[in-house]
Amino acid sequence: MMLEQAHQQNQRLLEAPRSVPAPSATPPLVRSPADTALPARGVAPFPTRGAARQRILALLREYPEGLTAVELRVLLGAEKSLTDTCAGMYKNELLWRVGRGRYVVHDLADA
């Protein structure tokens, strides 16, 4: 009996209409032509750790609501995950977390 009730409850949840999230006023996640250009053969997209950090900071300044490491990876065209890089930048107080896995620039002028 309880199993049947649980099954019916699950079916009602699956069949219930889903709410659509309201569109945000933030710019869409679109890569610029510079980001979509392939790097020259043998040239890494981030030649140094500092270069990666500077590009992350520059991109996050364009998205004041913040971005996740996955969104940063897509927008920057990175081949590898940027999760560890973002975590290190958070540890070094270059970024703030504003949600689960979402980062913004930590400007000292705002602190």
Contact 95, 61 (CB under 8 A): no
The confidence band for 94, taking pLDDT boundaries of 50, 70 and 90, is very high
Question: d(Cα 12, Cα 107) in Å, to the nearest integer?
Answer: 47
At the topology level, CATH places domain 47-111 in Arc Repressor Mutant, subunit A (1.10.10)
pTM over 0.75: no
Average pLDDT on 7-34 reads: 66
Question: d(Cα 108, Cα 100) in Å, to the nearest integer?
Answer: 22
What pLDDT shows up at residue 44?
52
Q: Evaluate if residue 85 carries a pLDDT over 70.
A: yes
Average pLDDT on 68-73 reads: 92
Average pLDDT on 42-69 reads: 83
